[in-house]
Amino acid sequence: SAARSGDTVVVTREMFEMFRSLRGAVAYALMTRADAAVYMVALQRKQPENTEVQHVKALNAVVKYLQREPIAIHYKCLGVDTHFRLYSDSAFKKELDCGHAIKGTLTMRVSGSRAVDAGGLLTSGHGHLIDHVCKRVRNVTRSTWSSELFSLCDAADHGMLLRQIGHEFCHGPLSAESARMLREGGLASKVAIDIIVDAFPK
């Protein structure tokens, strides 16, 4: 819907300083509140020259949501066997001045060995959200597909690092050569990585 009259007015310097102070305080909550990350990343891009009344209202709405919907984190014992599941997504908006997109990745540590049911769907036990990323894609993009692909590649790099850590927990430290073999598929590991995306080439 269209912004209300006055919402697109640029705020004063004094108002921006209060906006920035509150924005910085809320940013600390992102260590555990992945559900608000995409909104805060968008607001963190605002500077004195382009912060409007609507952005102040949006920040206040995020604060009210976080206060209204508190979330507690509980971790259950997942056992010895583990694998990692990463959900990667990206949003592209054509910006002629920069050509950047925003990406998001949720990293889950899932109990048990990787399994697929008869329909080809992943099955697993309990899972823990251990990491999340919400930031701009580092590369210049010109389409949704390219932004999704860059996001997927970044998620894969992170997943391979986690697999090495998980493998070392079970089998001890790896040499540089063994770590390279693990990354390139020359060393077998029970620690699997699954990456889920919603992009499909046409």
- How does pLDDT run across 20-58, given as a tens digit for each residue? 999 999 988 888 888 898 888 889 889 999 999 999 999
In this structure, are residues 163 and 193 in contact, taking their beta carbons and an 8 Å threshold? Answer: yes
In this structure, are residues 132 and 107 in contact, taking their beta carbons and an 8 Å threshold? Answer: yes
Spatial distance between the Cα atoms of 41 and 30, rounded to a whole number of angstroms: 10
Which residues are 167's β-sheet partners? none
The arithmetic mean of pLDDT across residues 112-139, rounded, is: 76
In this predicted structure, what is the pLDDT of residue 52? Answer: 92
If you average pLDDT over every residue of the chain, what do you get?
A: 83
Residue in the block written with tokens 């592209």: 92
* pLDDT of residue 173 exceeding 60: yes
Q: Work out the end-to-end distance of the chain between its first and last CA atoms, rounded to an integer number of angstroms.
A: 31
- How does pLDDT run across 68-97, given as a tens digit for each residue? 999 877 777 766 677 888 989 887 765 556
Structure tokens that stand for 90 in this block = 């990206």
In this predicted structure, what is the pLDDT of residue 103? Answer: 84
